[in-house]
Structure 1
């Protein structure tokens, strides 16, 4: 690496070397070198790094030759974990240094040259929008070259690095070579899945945090002081990164990996199994996943609400409002404990349970389909039956879960009998992340405010390489394809099915996908770890958007007027896509039953049938025709609550009624009693009159 850098410097290139303070090989020779150094101050020392390397070399030299593959993997695992911790510490230091990142952007570098032993620089290249070059000897079993670089390495005649074989292997050696390749692939995928994928997910953002973040940045623009309260195991928020707002981190006893694994379990089930399961089986699986998350949630609540020192610090800060996503547990209890107004940001909950039971929002099952069922407002009789049964099932599960796991905890923390819904029901404003361009007409309450598409904005110019690929499409245009930030990989069969279909259309395709490259990928399709989705959807050459149906991507498509092909995977996505299909702006595919011809037909329909574009442009006009931008609406209501110390005047009286008062059962009982009493009196009176009348007409018998 040094030879390359010095040769580039000799040729007149300006070079900056980014290294860390614990590097044993790179010193800050800025006084003598012809290139500049940026030293990242990391928490570990050179001595600690050297000690780790010595342990690896000692094992490699003296013990590994006598160990089998399994023993070697088990003994190397803790050493590799330490190495990974050091690597991630360096990357976190880099991406938390906002001043350095801004300086790197303004200095307009042409390329990043990196050794893959240092992670994170590929992401830096993406952030700076510049090319990325790797300098590499090899990785064990060529895992990085094969799985990331797509370099072929046939086991039959390419010996795996780590084994001292030639390319002329006998049968036994080829067998060992194949087994070594397989073992290294397993190790690589385990390290990537359990450590690095989670780490890179931290650098990117889940959709819930993205929506909250947009609002926070708008509040900072209006000179508000904002603090983000976050747990140490957050899989989506990098609290070590310097931001315009501050972070208050509380420690929990589980890791990011454990928290991420629960989400992965849910996603995997919904993508590959839920579609073939019955309504009862889906409900039971959701119950099982809820059980796994409950303990994590209660641990988070304990870390917040039983930490008196932390609570005192928050009280002294004198906040004006608490804004939260219900995915963050006990935020309602925190608002009550601190005596703050409470605002919720929400798309929806299954069965509208939170909205109905806690927010008192009406949801008549006769014309409001029950999530997660993907029905329209115009349901058939059988659909209304299923929707009603789903409503009952979701209501029962929610009530049972609250009663068994949360209500007693809430009462203990609050100091007197209460419940989850009583606390959440105190929310002053509910910011609902949809709008009437998307929603079916249905009743809502005064404190439910629509802010769908608050993150949308005009498109910016594309990076040079992407713009060149887009322009190469000619009059046919491009198709943008993304399954969201949470889907990193597909099965090989699904990937090949989709890639085959994309190769059959004349448009160029930009596919956001970081999994294994499909075998059937065509020349018109390019894979990207990340794409500027909003900017691509706003490009004049974009003809269609293939999407999983996440709310954020859906609203970007509405904002720019791009018809969609929906491949919903889990959660709210089937419901989202059914909304768009019913409005004539999208076609919808079943992920597990999808064939190449189905995707080709769907794409040809939305691209060539003008009705899809016309319907989407109609929705886009409705979206833009609002008194205020959705983000301005959200900020207005947050500031309204701050100015007025709440918005209790918008909360309906239903919050203070018992269930029998809400349904007027006491009134019905009284009226029935009155009617019953009148009927009894009427019957008694009639009987009395009849007896009197009949008695007068009867002759008396004479007696002696």
Structure 2
């Protein structure tokens, strides 16, 4: 890697600072084309990783992507990356996702009884467990193959870029001795911040708790309960699968959780316009919204549809890449609610068309979501609450009605709702009347749009675009073969040292011993005095 020139002085005014940083991004981040190994996830995680890979390819880097044999999203042939397909492996596919979504909706609709809640959590736990089992099989097939390992070593990669929800990249980076950069929001053990940054549970909500950063006493109790539940599920079950691989394939003792925490750089897919304020670390770089771009012109047929909406405007609905089919009763309720609206609707849905579908609703297999959200006719976005979609709506200042299904979606929408830009509808409450009422409220109440536009202005008011920042820091790690000076070593401390329990116990013992010595001394003097007095009498 070729190193860059040094910065001599930071200008005082803001315009000069912006220009200075831009010069660094354009010229200072230049480095010889490097070799990057990528271990991604499927689904929406791949969608944003793909954008990062394109940008890295544009900078002259060679990118190789690891994929399983039946990869759903990662295509084997591409013009801007090479693929390494691991034989005899499988991962999430449409059938697996459809079955998971169907069960989630069923249990949500039954919500109210403790039995349905238990079933809901067991279903999520089972799906996550099966996913990690498939990932562990992928890692095992790589480590068992001398041919694959020889090929990976001969390529002499400069960097591992991975999404740490799965452990493939984490274990391979250790095996190949590569610096590691995360494209991250979630990890194998939960929300990324909790792995390396101080996270007081008095004001930092745990995933799934439904809390904001302002909690009552009982909400804080709930927060601790969800922390224990998540720790039990993720740390004591999911991590154990990866730890078993570490124990099998590495000669010296390797702690998987320490490998996860030891990444050189965390490119965090959030923005504090969206995320609640919290402690952070110097090797966390915030790139929330890096996939967002100004809207491009729409295809003629979509543009004609948008213009035909008149002053009422258009509602855009998408429930993400994993939700291709819904029960017919659910889609019939959604279509019936749309039929009662003066607005027109563009609905991305690949399942069977509902019988209640009206002429005001255009159902499509695919749509240019970012361009539609940036269109002046768009009044509302109905979303499942995925990070990509939520940040795209925030970027374009479009209010949201959220229908969360699983994983981080509920938490994403809670954050947007807390800032006045979204309204939540649970699957259990989703029906023609509730959806229609929610749409009318969000469209007719100006505060939703005004709040989202304010968030949009804050999000865009930055000296450097998030994608440019991500590329700069990836190349920074490549140039310097890591970023150890930004990485804390606190994760290697035992829990009692990290929380200073040993110090507190020692100080308490010193105070106790000192108090006891005073007590014994005073008691001895009192006994002496009393003894002399009796002798005198």
TM-score relative to the length of structure 2: 0.87
1:225 aligns with 2:59: no
**DSSP 3-state at the match of 2:423:** strand
- C-alpha distance in 2 between matches for 1:547 and 1:213: 21
1:515 aligns with 2:351: yes
| Contact 2:160–2:179 (Cα < 8 Å) also in 1 | yes
- Find the partner of 1:306 among 128, 137, 144: 144
- C-alpha distance in 2 between matches for 1:403 and 1:222: 35
1:629 aligns with 2:465: yes
**DSSP 3-state at the match of 1:233:** coil
1:618 aligns with 2:445: no
- Find the partner of 1:336 among 174, 194, 198: 174
| Contact 1:585–1:613 (Cα < 8 Å) also in 2 | yes
Partner of 2:281: 445
How far 1:280 sits from its partner (Å)?
5.3
Partner of 1:145: none
- C-alpha distance in 2 between matches for 1:441 and 1:361: 12
| Contact 2:164–2:188 (Cα < 8 Å) also in 1 | no
Change in 2 beyond 3 A, CA 1:294/1:469:
closer
Partner of 2:502: 666
Partner of 1:352: 190
| Contact 2:167–2:242 (Cα < 8 Å) also in 1 | no
Matches within 5 A, 1:205-220: 206-220=43-57
How far 1:281 sits from its partner (Å)?
4.9
Summarize deviations over 1:137-193 as a string: whole Å, max 9, x none.
xxxxxxxxxxxxxxxxxxxxxxxxxxxxxxxxxxxxxxxxxxxxxxxxxxxxxxxxx
Partner of 2:198: 362
Partner of 1:69: none
How far 1:353 sits from its partner (Å)?
6.1
Change in 2 beyond 3 A, CA 1:342/1:530:
same
| Contact 2:166–2:188 (Cα < 8 Å) also in 1 | no
Summarize deviations over 1:502-558 as a string: whole Å, max 9, x none.
111111111111212111111211111111111111111111111111111111111
Matches within 5 A, 1:405-484: 405-484=241-320
How far 1:496 sits from its partner (Å)?
1.3
- Structure 1 stretch displaced more, 415-424 or 347-356: 347-356
Partner of 1:252: 88
How far 1:622 sits from its partner (Å)?
1.0
1:269 aligns with 2:103: yes
- C-alpha distance in 2 between matches for 1:446 and 1:697: 70
Summarize deviations over 1:331-362 as a string: whole Å, max 9, x none.
11111111110111122358736643xx3222
Partner of 1:75: none
- C-alpha distance in 2 between matches for 1:689 and 1:262: 80
Partner of 1:321: 159
| Contact 2:188–2:239 (Cα < 8 Å) also in 1 | no
How far 1:403 sits from its partner (Å)?
6.3
**DSSP 3-state at the match of 2:211:** coil
How far 1:460 sits from its partner (Å)?
1.2
1:296 aligns with 2:134: yes
Q: Which structure 1 residue ranges, 5 or more long, are not aligned? A: 1-204
| Contact 2:108–2:428 (Cα < 8 Å) also in 1 | no
Partner of 2:419: 583
How far 1:379 sits from its partner (Å)?
2.0
| Contact 2:243–2:255 (Cα < 8 Å) also in 1 | yes
| Contact 1:497–1:595 (Cα < 8 Å) also in 2 | yes
How far 1:269 sits from its partner (Å)?
3.2
Change in 2 beyond 3 A, CA 1:448/1:403:
closer
| Contact 1:402–1:420 (Cα < 8 Å) also in 2 | no
1:499 aligns with 2:335: yes
Partner of 1:144: none
- C-alpha distance in 1 between matches for 2:144 and 2:434: 55
- C-alpha distance in 1 between matches for 2:349 and 2:223: 35
- C-alpha distance in 2 between matches for 1:286 and 1:424: 23
| Contact 2:264–2:477 (Cα < 8 Å) also in 1 | yes
| Contact 2:394–2:452 (Cα < 8 Å) also in 1 | yes
| Contact 1:563–1:585 (Cα < 8 Å) also in 2 | yes
**DSSP 3-state at the match of 1:476:** coil
How far 1:291 sits from its partner (Å)?
3.3
Count of residues paired in the alignment? 492
- Find the partner of 1:698 among 524, 534, 537: 534
Higher relative contact order (CA 8 A, sep 6+): 2
Indicate the structure (1 or 2) with the bigger Cα radius of gyration. Answer: 1
Summarize deviations over 1:664-689 as a string: whole Å, max 9, x none.
11111211221121112111111111
Change in 2 beyond 3 A, CA 1:235/1:454:
same
How far 1:414 sits from its partner (Å)?
1.9
- Structure 1 stretch displaced more, 395-404 or 405-414: 395-404
Change in 2 beyond 3 A, CA 1:369/1:529:
same
Summarize deviations over 1:562-621 as a string: whole Å, max 9, x none.
111111111111111111111011111112212222222221222222111110011101
Partner of 1:533: 369
- C-alpha distance in 2 between matches for 1:597 and 1:264: 26
Partner of 2:74: 237
Summarize deviations over 1:405-453 as a string: whole Å, max 9, x none.
3323212222122222011122011111110110011111111111111
**DSSP 3-state at the match of 1:226:** strand
- C-alpha distance in 2 between matches for 1:294 and 1:316: 28
Summarize deviations over 1:72-125 as a string: whole Å, max 9, x none.
xxxxxxxxxxxxxxxxxxxxxxxxxxxxxxxxxxxxxxxxxxxxxxxxxxxxxx
Summarize deviations over 1:211-265 as a string: whole Å, max 9, x none.
11111110111111111122213222111x2321211222134x45x75544444
Partner of 2:15: none
**DSSP 3-state at the match of 1:431:** strand
- C-alpha distance in 2 between matches for 1:418 and 1:402: 16
- C-alpha distance in 2 between matches for 1:559 and 1:354: 23
How far 1:647 sits from its partner (Å)?
0.8
| Contact 1:262–1:292 (Cα < 8 Å) also in 2 | no
How far 1:700 sits from its partner (Å)?
5.8
